[in-house]
């Protein structure tokens, strides 16, 4: 699924992300490392930090979706699968700590046949 599918008025919409992943906006906020206000208040939804975190989460889920065959399973992987080489942290934990680029690099390395 492309990023545009989750957009509304030129920004990523937590509600659309939540609907696609069959969860709540509050859960989307939590898994992206954001507070509940970040997805409920219009001014906070539009903030750079909120949009960056939502984009990072969606990019990671989208990137692994083809290997799992479902956005729901990809989202479950994002939330719960410890990654080798990251002290047992999940992609969600890494994103919450500002390390989304490392998760994307890890996925690219695995896709290229390099095992972490």
Q: What percent of the chain has pLDDT over 90?
A: 78
Distance CA 82, CA 110 (A): 14
pLDDT at 27 over 70: yes
- The DSSP string of 23-63 is S-HHHHHHHTT--THHHHSHHHHTSHHHHHHHHHHHHHHHH
pLDDT at 7 over 90: no
Phi-psi region of 95 (alpha: psi -120 to 50; beta: other; left: phi over 0): alpha
Distance CA 10, CA 22 (A): 22
Distance CA 5, CA 65 (A): 15
0.85 surpassed by pTM: yes
**Annotated domain spans of the chain:** 3-111
Task: Express each pLDDT in 41-66 by its tens digit.
Answer: 888 999 999 999 999 999 999 999 99
pLDDT at 116 over 70: no
pLDDT at 1 over 70: no
């Amino acid at each position: 699924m492309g990023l545009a599918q989750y957009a509304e008025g030129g920004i990523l919409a937590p509600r659309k992300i939540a609907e696609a992943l069959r969860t709540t906006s509050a859960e989307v906020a939590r898994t992206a490392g954001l507070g509940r206000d970040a997805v409920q208040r219009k001014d906070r939804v539009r903030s750079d930090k909120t949009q960056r975190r939502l984009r990072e989460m969606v990019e990671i889920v989208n990137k692994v979706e083809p290997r799992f065959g479902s956005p729901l399973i990809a989202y479950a992987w994002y939330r719960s699968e410890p990654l080798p080489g990251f002290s047992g942290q999940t992609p969600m934990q890494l994103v919450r700590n500002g390390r989304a680029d490392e998760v994307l690099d890890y996925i690219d390395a695995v896709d290229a046949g390099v095992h972490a």
